[in-house]
Amino acid sequence: MNFVLVIFITAVILAIVFFQAAIKIVPEEKRIVILRMGRSIGSRGPGLVIVIPIIDLVMWVDVQKKHHFSYANLPTRDNKLASVVVDLEGKVFDAEKSVLNVPNLDNALQKLVEARVGDFVSSKASSELPNLKARLADELMDVVRRSGRDWGFEADKIQIDEIQVV
């Protein structure tokens, strides 16, 4: 009798643990991408999502993205140094693409903006830079929109907060 009771209690505890791992509550600002045995079976959310523990791998994606990038000691065409502060706001429109097409979306966006800002600053004279905020923002928006489509990301707003020549 004691042996049966121990097995029953163990089974109940295992069932509770299994159901806790199987049920995910996805908030409005997030999505999950489910990989079943390494294959994507799609994105889910918001709301209640049921997964198969151990077999399914769940990748959480934040839909609303806000980034603040700060770059210092960028050389200009006349060999002076400049610093640039960029704010980027956007949203993930396809969570599955953002997980499958790029290993780390935040890092990819940072590197993309960093490369474009570096190219832009190095092609301009230090006296021109403070007057070219709008042009830099337009170029960044174009680059982020083109690359972001493949990553499931759409930029809403890019703002150049500061361009300072040292």
- pLDDT bracket for residue 145 (50, 70, 90): very high
Domain 64-165 has CATH 3.30.479.30: yes
Label residues 11-20 b or e (16+ Cβ within 10 Å = b).
eeeeeeeeee
| Residue 97 neighbours by CB under 8 Å, 6+ apart | 150, 151, 152
CB 53 within 8 A of CB 20: no
How many other C-beta atoms are found inside a 10 Å radius of the C-beta of residue 61? 22
- Tell me the pLDDT tens digit for each residue of 101-135: 998 999 999 999 999 999 999 999 888 888 888 99
Per-residue pLDDT tens for 12-70? 999 999 999 999 999 999 999 999 998 999 999 899 999 999 899 999 999 998 999 99
- Tokens describing residue 160: 């150049």
Give pTM, 2 decimals: 0.83
Burial of 91 (0-12, 13-18, 19+ CB in 10 A): middle
CATH 3.30.479.30 intervals, the chain = 64-165
